Amino acid sequence: MAVTSITIYSTVTCPYCKLEKQWLDKNGVRYESFMVDQDQEKADEMIKKSGQLGVPVTEIVMPDGKSEIVVGFDKPRLGELLGIKE
């Protein structure tokens, strides 16, 4: 599935964030990552978009401009949105 961009909001110590990034890397998916424990502006942005304090929070922007927010490393949902089958 074509997507315009993928943004992952994470922290340095989050094991699920690391697992998600490894999974995306393994599947050749490009993304931008922000460490919300080191960037208060990005932390505020993540909370505004998701209503969540927990990480990872992944924003997937579709070609039509709509975005999907996935909270946590929800591999089935991410796979569905990104067209990754395992």
Q: What is the pLDDT of residues 68-85, one digit of tens each?
A: 999 999 999 999 999 998
At position 69, the amino acid (one-letter code) is: I
Asked whether the predicted pLDDT for residue 8 surpasses 90, the reply is yes
pLDDT of 29-77, one tens digit each? 999 999 999 999 999 999 999 999 999 999 999 999 999 999 999 999 9
Q: Which of 86, 27, 85, 34 is nearest to 58 (CA)?
A: 34
Choose which CATH entry (3.40.30.10, 3.30.420.40, 1.10.357.10, 3.40.50.300) describes domain 5-82. 3.40.30.10
Q: Are strands 57-61 and 67-71 parallel, antiparallel or unpaired?
A: antiparallel
For the chain, which residues make up each domain, given as ranges? 5-82
- Provide the pLDDT for residue 46: 97
The rounded Cα 23 to chain-centroid distance in angstroms is 12
Q: What is the pLDDT of residue 2?
A: 81
pTM attached to this predicted model? 0.93
**Residue whose C-alpha is closest to residue 71's, from 84, 48, 53:** 53
| Token couple for 13 | 């110590």
